[in-house]
Amino acid sequence: MGLIIAYFFFLLNLISIIPTMYPLYIWKLVTTGSLRRLGDKLLLKVGEMWIENNYRISRMLYGVQFEVVGDSFKDLKADGHYMIICNHQSWSDIYIIQSVLNRKIPLIRFFIKDSLKYVPILGHAWLALDFPFVKRSSREQLKKNPELANQDLENVKKVCEKFAGMPFSILNFLEGHRRTPERVQKLLKKNPYQHLLRPHSGGISVVSTALKNSIDAFIDLTIVYPTENPSFLDLMRGKIRKLKVFVDVVPVSQVPIEENEQFAPMSKKMKRWVDERWALKDGLIEKEKHSK
């Protein structure tokens, strides 16, 4: 019953944005200049309110609380330019990250498969809020035509162009997949971490290089759940009520961003930096698990 009630409220919150989102989206499409920028600002307010209401629903139903740890958290700016990296264990990660950082930094966007723009309401909301849609080739397509990898990278670079000169927060899950028991077992021999999957640095390197003149800092988040193998349904059922989010804001001067776009996808210095961050994350999670 609790799951049905939670689903009803979350769905109601999603439906509630329709009367304001669609008129503002149409306004944005048919206007230019200062009028269009006003439409963008109003749409961002709608997105922030939607995120805030989702968190309020969880607090109201289950008393959900997120303990944020990190002194640099207070230095974040609502008009800043940030790249966000985080461990990935569940679909609830996005909900948690949005709730913790909402209105403290620009609206968080993440790369979405192009086909998802057709999802009712959510797809239109992502389009209205300028979420970056990218076409990515499947593994089978890349095997048949390796040149498609270069095309995919060019698509990412073009998407990044829209963020130049405007406040932005771009979220990257470097592990590429959620950390499920099945995936952990499958990658056991290739994975040096106890609580994480091996991260991939190519994507974050390409995006960072494309936006190197705009980024203020990297926000490194580590979510520590109270249980193993959490799911979004666990959150909606109220099985997850308290968790910790460690926030480390790393100045862009301390991140080895590749200058040459040609070398960015295979940047060794970015890979070393990402591996070092993941080793720190793994140790942090291990320490938290043993402190309970």
Q: Strand 168-172's sheet: what is its strand order?
A: 65-69, 242-251, 217-224, 81-86, 168-172, 108-110
Tell me the pLDDT tens digit for each residue of 177-202.
656 665 556 555 677 888 888 898 98
Least confidently predicted of 60-64, 160-164, 176-180, 225-229: 176-180
Average pLDDT over residues 56-72: 89
Angle of helix 2-16 relative to helix 33-62, nearest 10 degrees?
160
Least confidently predicted of 106-115, 158-167, 185-194: 185-194
Higher pLDDT, 234 or 222: 222
Per-residue pLDDT for 60 more than 70? yes
**pTM of the predicted protein model:** 0.89
Per-residue pLDDT for 250 more than 60? yes
Residues constituting the chain: 292
Whole-Å CA distances, 65 to 80, 136, 254, 275: 26, 36, 32, 30
Least confidently predicted of 60-64, 97-101, 150-154, 209-213: 150-154
Q: Which residues have a Cβ under 8 Å from the Cβ of 168 and sit 6 or more positions away?
A: 81, 82, 106, 109, 211, 214
Write down the pLDDT at residue 189.
Answer: 61
Higher pLDDT, 216 or 193: 216
Phi, psi dihedrals of residue 108, rounded to the nearest 5°:
-75, 125
Tell me the pLDDT tens digit for each residue of 253-287.
999 999 988 888 889 999 999 999 999 999 999 99
Burial of 182 (0-12, 13-18, 19+ CB in 10 A): exposed
- The percentage of residues in the chain with a pLDDT greater than 90, rounded to a whole number, is 47
Tell me the pLDDT tens digit for each residue of 14-36.
999 999 999 999 999 999 999 99
